[in-house]
A and B are shown apart, each in its own frame.
Chain A
């Protein structure tokens, strides 16, 4: 990976700029610019530091928030004592080791992958890690960002570095443009169905093409966020004027001359002409329409206009068996039009689709309409600051007038850990990222959708797109 003359990919450039040490037969030791911490995957790491008498090497490159295991109906009371202990443990650990935290009630508290970008902590060319697989979100800024386990959290706390096996690179070349009403979420769901949940394994992916370049930062974050759902280590997008405009002026963004120098460097973070990727994939979105999942992994998806597939139609044994098991779990019959599938709950939120733009898109659909009586709709802003911004625009009034619940920020129903869960047998349309068995609560059934489809589904009571409302 060394050698000045060879054209290089974006991922290689960021990687090379962070190699602390490289030796034959050993993983490269990478410096980590930003370490995001939350309550669920950090307690055992802080314990490990204490046991070995170590400290946090760079507390000022570390920041914590509370999101996974928090209630969204209030900011004060965590009724489950085990959950409360976990939150209190994070607070104690941060205070003991000198790590800044944004706790419940703080204006910057929220889903860890919403917090980083909104503070301007997420910048192009950085290395960013977090004990959470959706750290890939930050790749939307041209950062190399990936999820790690708790042993690695401890490693980063202690050393501000991580040993990493050599990377393989992949290009996803997106061909065509998104039709009106079709979103970044539809794009990435279609991609995962095309390549499968293991399609990106071992690769740092770069999303490329005019549709990506025209996409907002929020849309890019949705795409990068779901990189892990097809097995990619990280998902990057080259920084451009859209990126710079998003970062500029935020709390931690460089200011004055530092901004100019940063921007000049960031502008160089593009894959060179002639650079070779280890793998290339083409995604044609010319005829893409709203896309939803029918199964129990994010690669089991279909256009909303299609029907529940027949497992017998899958060529591979493993896919056939997986489809069969998925349909049993989801209680779906092959041949049923997806538009006939009735849902009990609609969840709008998460690190995938819980940003202001997502709330606006859903509010546009719901304005002047009512959530169907058979449906409970939760709207959970990605962060306290998204919540405040939405209230400033009156979006909360649109949601509550429609009959949806306007909640406080957190991971909420994305993961079935905090009080927001599906009951056994309940079916949801969810803007989150995983439709695994029981992900949103034991026995719950999840259909992954875009914010627009979520809102239209809430109105109709069955899976629907905004166009169905006219």
Chain B
């Protein structure tokens, strides 16, 4: 995985709550067997509306998505994370994320940033006033900076370290293979074994 330390870019305001993963990428786009090329499915239904915010040329090239509460609820499809990344997003800001989406994002290197709804509303207003507003996401300092202000965001030490170092989770776990093997010796004899 690529290391994530500090990212600076422009942002796009998505004034919606409950953006479920079916909205982020409809199931019909999940037929592919690759991890790339999902950008065409991103918010596919909404993008057919010319008034949808991603169709506004003022926000072209934005790399930080700022959304309402309960972003990424519903389906576990990691394709939702890939679609956002394939489109060019590096971070998503929302007051609250679906748990599975948040976990998937952390695994794949898309930074989920939780900030209060009040802050998100301030960001929306600032971005709409100036679509070229520079937004800095600083994982090192756990801060989001924009318009001369800064907001701290929460992230656990372990996830932060993994992202900063760009570490592969499987590699980390396999360092403890002896513990896994030891655990396997003590599993109850009745646990099912597929034949």
- Are A and B associated in one complex? yes
Contact of A197 among B23, B73, B78, B79 (CB under 8 A): B73
B74 CB-CB contact with A under 8 Å: yes
| CB–CB A198/B96 < 8 A | yes
A249 CB-CB contact with B under 8 Å: no
B131 CB-CB contact with A under 8 Å: no
Contact of A20 among B176, B188, B191 (CB under 8 A): B176
Tell me the bound Cα distance from A261 to B191 in angstroms. Answer: 11
Contact A254 to B194, CB < 8 A, known contacts A26-B158, A151-B107, A159-B170: no
Tell me the bound Cα distance from A458 to B43 in angstroms. Answer: 32
Contact A152 to B107, CB < 8 A, known contacts A26-B158, A197-B73, A415-B27: yes
Chain A positions 139 through 177: 1 when the CB is less than 8 Å from some CB of chain B, otherwise 0: 000000001111110110011110101000000000000
Chain B positions 36 through 76: 1 when the CB is less than 8 Å from some CB of chain A, otherwise 0: 00000000010000000000000000000000111001111
| CB–CB B31/A69 < 8 A | yes
A62 CB-CB contact with B under 8 Å: yes
| CB–CB B22/A233 < 8 A | no
- How many residue pairs bridge A and B at CB < 8 Å? 201
| CB–CB A100/B195 < 8 A | yes
| CB–CB B22/A438 < 8 A | yes
Contact of A258 among B17, B45, B190 (CB under 8 A): B190
| CB–CB B31/A434 < 8 A | no
Chain A positions 257 through 288: 1 when the CB is less than 8 Å from some CB of chain B, otherwise 0: 01101100100000000000000000000000
* Chain A residues near B174 (CB-CB < 8 A): 158-159
A side interface size, CB within 8 A: 85
A389 CB-CB contact with B under 8 Å: no
Tell me the bound Cα distance from A189 to B191 in angstroms. Answer: 33
Chain B positions 140 through 181: 1 when the CB is less than 8 Å from some CB of chain A, otherwise 0: 000000000000000011100000000001101110110110
Contact of A442 among B31, B45, B68 (CB under 8 A): B45
Contact of B33 among A61, A89, A434 (CB under 8 A): A89
B side interface size, CB within 8 A: 59
| CB–CB A261/B22 < 8 A | no
B6 CB-CB contact with A under 8 Å: no
Tell me the bound Cα distance from A132 to B76 in angstroms. Answer: 5
| CB–CB B22/A201 < 8 A | no
Tell me the bound Cα distance from A152 to B169 in angstroms. Answer: 9
| CB–CB A52/B170 < 8 A | yes
Contact of B45 among A133, A233, A438 (CB under 8 A): A438
| CB–CB B17/A439 < 8 A | no
* Chain B residues near A20 (CB-CB < 8 A): 176, 179-180, 183
* Chain B residues near A133 (CB-CB < 8 A): 74-76, 100
A463 CB-CB contact with B under 8 Å: no
From A43, A161, A434, residue with most partner B Cβ within 10 Å:
A161
B81 CB-CB contact with A under 8 Å: yes
Q: Could you list 10 A-B pairs, sorted by A, with CB under 8 Å?
A: A20-B179, A149-B100, A149-B108, A159-B177, A161-B180, A198-B96, A231-B73, A231-B98, A258-B189, A318-B69
Task: Using CB atoms and an 8 Å cutoff, list the residues of chain A in contact with chain B.
Answer: 20-21, 25-27, 29, 31, 33-34, 40-41, 43-44, 47, 52, 54, 57, 59-63, 68-69, 80, 82-83, 85-86, 89, 100, 120-121, 123, 126, 131-133, 135, 147-152, 154-155, 158-161, 163, 165, 197-198, 201-202, 228-229, 231, 233, 252-254, 258-259, 261-262, 265, 296-297, 318, 321-322, 325, 415-417, 434, 436-439, 442-443
